[in-house]
A and B are shown apart, each in its own frame.
Chain A
Amino acid sequence: MNSHNPLFKRKYVITGIIIVFALIYIGQLFHLQILSPKYREYADSHAFLRKTLYPARGAIYDRKGELLVYNQPTYDVMMVVREMEAFDTIDFCRTLNIDKQRFYQLNAEMRDPRKNPGYSSYTPQIFMSQLNVEEYGLLQEKLYKFPGIYIQHRTERQYKYPNMGLILGYIAEANKNEIAANPYYIRGDYVGKSGIELSHEEDLRGEKGVEILLRDAHGRIQGKYKNGEYDRAPVSGRDLTLSIDLDLQAYGELLMHNKVGSIIMIEPKTGEILCMISAPNYDPSLLTGRDFGKNYQSLEKNPYKPLINRAVAGTYPPGSTFKPAQGLIFLQEGIITEQTQYVCYHGYPPLGGKPACHGHASPLAIQYALATSCNSFFCYGLNAMLSNRTKYSDVNNAFDHWKDHMVDMGFGYKLGVDLPSEKRGFIPNSKFYTNIFKNSRWNAHNIISTAIGQGEILTTPLQIANFAAMTANRGSFYTPHVVKERKGAPLDTAFTNRRNSEIAREYFEIIVNGMADAVTKGTCYGANLAPEIQVCGKTGTAQNPHGEDHSLFMGFAPKDDPQVAIVVIVENGRFGATNAVPIGRLMLQKFFKGEIPETDKWLEKTMIDRVVLPYLYTKNAPPAATVTIPVAN
């Protein structure tokens, strides 16, 4: 019946329209669900809150097991804006010890999307960070009065002693570059910035864990995703034991009070650094907590640059402390023998008495030359080596032999100490001089100051200390290091493998005898602890363009079976014997006896009280005393 009705056909139109709609809708579903992965990403980023679980950072101990660095809880005031109700702002401010203006400033900073990109009024936001325990206690008591305010616990680095700030280093929030360089870090992570905290960052930090939480539309947490099936527990950081002896370190810092320079003591048998003082130093607890920014700025502005670890990053002309190394090269290369004598007439005769020298017998052999620190002897030696055309084809060849030996003895390149910012110093090669003189026909006399550790030569205190340790070992050393033990892991083989010099042991014995004489009857008599301990040493007085000569002392003791190698540098401290030798003596006393004997108490007092500050051309320079710190008992 209906089929005769022309309207009957309209059911096909209707069916057609329905099917067209269905196809469009399935097309849109296909587009959303299969062609657009972005929706899956949006969904995950909305719904999953990947909460980082921070491991405890490793603690740091000194070589005797004394705790140096640990973590202490600190408290942040958190605010959930949506949950806030009107409350007594004045009471709140008083509790936190801030004024109303500061309150509004903090509030504005928290809500500023440029300063706080993750701002949401539904989730806790940091209002004020790092309350101390007392402030925390006060606030906790009154918390019920302040709806929407919460307290979040965090941990912060704490330092038990005010010493070795430069060795320990500090941690701070990772910056953009660090985040870009290492995918491990995210915004807000703390990362070691200097010292051990930086060089052993991976040991100390441990491994972050993650907890995947479900976050609802209002930012509220609704529990764990799949009951924590995909969560990862954090791995605690590794505790470190330093080779540093806290007592020795603190004593060294005390001695360097009001001075600029460095003391390093190394155990020659292991390469362990027993103390490493860089003066001026700073209290490591200045760079933690709420005043970090302020303190950092003031340290950075200080003209004596307390943030530079001079022990590894300061470069100095080694002066006469370079002479034992020179002597070793001449002996090894056969330029001189133990008996070879050179003349000295208050200076180096071939150049009209320059460099000058002081009064002593002449002619003289190597052992006595070391004891008296004769300049002329080593100038003759260098000239003899560089002019020797039977052994070397030309001066370049000869000089490169010399340079190779220097490098072999740890100069000119980074030693690889486990501290950041180590400098390599400078040992020139022949090309360097060929460039300077514009031809390759230069000779020893052109570069004669090199013979006595001046000229272009630059070394770090650590390199000199290492050379002292190598001499103590009669020709071998271990890469100096400050971390003695990593809990649960072996030390890097770089620190446990002995590095041998090419120079024969017998030549070292000659040099050691010279250094022993220098202490018993030569330039570093001030360091003589005989008869109890036979010290070997060498002074240095390094001319430099920054004012008075630097005062240097290098040595080791006892002569047989050495226990310690030492270097002391006092910037602008004039003769080695003036400042570096007495400080070296006191350090050795402290090391061997634990206490300074009564007979040396006057010296101790003199050295602590002595002010040897380089003249500063900066206006309003604060006295360095403000940045040195008292010693812990």
Chain B
Amino acid sequence: MNRETTETEEKGKVDMPTIILYLLFLVMGWISIYAASFDLENATSMFDLSSRAGMQLVWIGTSLLLAFALMKIDTGFYETYAFIFYIGGIALLLITLLVAPEINGSRSWLVMGPVRLQPAEFMKFIIALVLAKAFNSYNFRLMKPKNLLLVSSIILLPFILVVLQSETGTALVYLAFIMMLYREGLPGGFLLIGISTIIYFVLGIRFSETFVGSISLGEFITTLLIIVFAAGMVRSYLKRREVSAIILTIPVVLFLVAFLISLFGVKVNYGFVALLSLGLTGLYLILLFLRFWKKPYLYIFLFVVASFAFVESVEYVFYDVLQPHQQTRIKVTLGMEQDLQGSGYHVGQSKIAIGSGGFAGKGFLNGTQTKLKYVPEQDTDFIFCTIGEEQGFIGSSIVLILFVIFILRLIYLAERQRTVFGRVYGYGVASVFLFHLIINIGMVIGIMPVIGIPLPFFSYGGSSLWGFTILLFIFLRIDKSQKRM
């Protein structure tokens, strides 16, 4: 057994494209940090350990050592001890929650003398490992209620702990594993529900301030959208085109009638017409269920009811449950408000910095917006601003494309794994990197709300760099030991 492993290991090679991209990111990140933290008045050397760039060099060095060490550890070690890691990680999160001092409004840092660690960062690879281990067990099927409960517990337990540490951004990263779960058999319907939830939420809030008859424009649009979704589901799950057509015809007929009535000078409440259409759709679906006794009709009916309930609760949740600053962030992202002091100021300044870079950028160390500290957190969460300003469209597009190549490479590597363990872990790694990329760059360019998570390998910080390095190199180690397909 041992000899066999050794043989395969000798055959296996570490995936060079990924290594090259990793090293490239480290170097570009280091240069970006130097540029972002460059002080016009006290310019320091890139190697000065008292500067951010110098310290990052230390983190890079230790990360490389860590990477070498990880490549030496046997793959079996991770599989064997995954749950131990998990228990240790949860324990650490609990300790952190109890003893951590408050730093920048969160209790997520363990301070041991000069060293500060953020256990939440390391929880990413631990969750990925545990999930991989769970999926690897014999005859594991995700959709068994027991397994579904197990998987969601593995994710939600640390999620809750990290939220309690007030590190919501990092906690949200754990939800990124949904992409991996989708690959491993989570029904598309779940994703559909997730996506429709987001759509309802965004539309409901974005158009909550104008009204159509008795309901807000947001509710009006989402109500009609629910009908369209229901029609689409009938068509794709039951293959009943005529039923789907009837569902779509209901609102069309009703609105036509309402419009004709309005021609006679009667003031028509179109909001009520929309609600009436939805009610008739629900009634029609339940009648179909009773008539044909086919469960999908019931499910679609329940989808309609749940969607409607969600839509109705969106405004309540938004205005009464969310904190004012969270409301503002979302409103700013949706373009409803110009918050020039708070998070809107940050995003505004980061868009100005990136936008002012133009096609080719202002050149290394010539960015005025970042040098003059207009951009907040410019060597951590907003590091992409420096690239955008100094390297322009060319530079920022190249970084974005390299990341996409990197993630697609990870997916390719994951797909070629022989074991479920390797594949699930690989997808977990890809999910985490993708989530970071989409949220971080989306935030900086003003598409996503401000959620404070770093850009992998670029943002300054030891914990996050170590965390990403461990996450990646465990996978490269697993990949190396596998026979190629």
Q: Which residues of A contact B (CB under 8 A)?
A: 1-2, 7-8, 10-11, 13-15, 18-19, 21-22, 24-26, 28-30, 32-34, 36, 38-40, 42-44, 46-48, 214-218, 222-223, 225
Contact = CB atoms under 8 A, between A and B. Distances in A.
Interface in B25-83: 40-41
A33 B369 contact: no
Contacts of A19: 404
11 contacts: A7-B184, A7-B185, A15-B408, A18-B408, A26-B397, A26-B401, A32-B351, A38-B355, A44-B368, A217-B372, A222-B40
Contacts of A215: 372
Contacts of B116: none
A215 B368 CA distance: 9
Given A18-B434, A22-B401, A217-B374, A33 B368 contact: no
Contacts of A42: 352, 355-356
Contacts of B438: 21
Q: Kindly name the residue among B41, B183, B355, B446 whose own CB sees the greatest number of chain A CB atoms within 10 A.
A: B355
A19 B359 CA distance: 22
A30 B400 CA distance: 13
B372 A24 contact: no
Interface stretch (B251-259, B291-299, B388-396): B388-396
Contact of B447 (A24, A34, A39): A24
B445 A223 contact: no
Given A33-B393, A46-B374, A47-B369, A10 B354 contact: no
Nearest to A47: B368
Given A18-B407, A39-B355, A222-B41, A30 B393 contact: yes
Interface in B348-395: 349, 351-359, 368-369, 371-374, 388-389, 392-393
B352 A22 contact: no
B315 interface: no
Contacts, number: 119
B474 interface: no
B387 to A, nearest CB: 10
A7 B183 contact: yes
A438 to B, nearest CB: 70
A32 B369 contact: no
A217 B396 contact: no
Chain A interface secondary structure, helix, strand, loop or mixed?
helix
Nearest to A10: B183
A19 B396 CA distance: 16
A40 B356 contact: yes
B324 interface: no
A39 B183 contact: no
A-B CB proximity, top 6 nearest: A39-B355, A43-B356, A47-B368, A216-B372, A32-B355, A33-B393
A28 B356 contact: no
B373 A216 contact: yes
B305 interface: no
A214 B368 CA distance: 8
A39 B373 CA distance: 16
B371 A214 contact: yes
A121 to B, nearest CB: 13
Residue with the greatest number of chain B CB neighbours at <10 A, chosen from A13, A29, A44, A48: A29
B441 interface: yes
B437 to A, nearest CB: 8
A28 to B, nearest CB: 5
B312 interface: no
Given A40-B358, A223-B40, A29 B411 contact: no
A33 B407 contact: no
A29 B355 CA distance: 8
Contacts of A15: 408, 411
B185 A43 contact: no
Contact of B353 (A10, A25, A43, A222): A43
Given A24-B447, A33-B388, A43 B404 contact: no
A29 B368 contact: no
Q: Which of A2, A7, A26, A43 has the most B CB atoms < 10 Å from its CB?
A: A43
Interface in B167-182: 179, 182
B194 interface: no
A25 B371 CA distance: 25
A43 B401 contact: no
Contacts of A25: 400, 441-442, 445, 447
Given A32-B351, A44-B356, A222-B372, 19 more contacts: A10-B183, A15-B408, A22-B404, A25-B400, A26-B397, A29-B388, A32-B445, A33-B357, A33-B388, A33-B393, A34-B358, A39-B355, A40-B358, A43-B369, A46-B368, A214-B40, A216-B372, A217-B374, A222-B371
A222 B434 CA distance: 38
B359 A39 contact: no
Contact of A18 (B349, B351, B404, B441): B404
Interface in B139-190: 179, 182-185
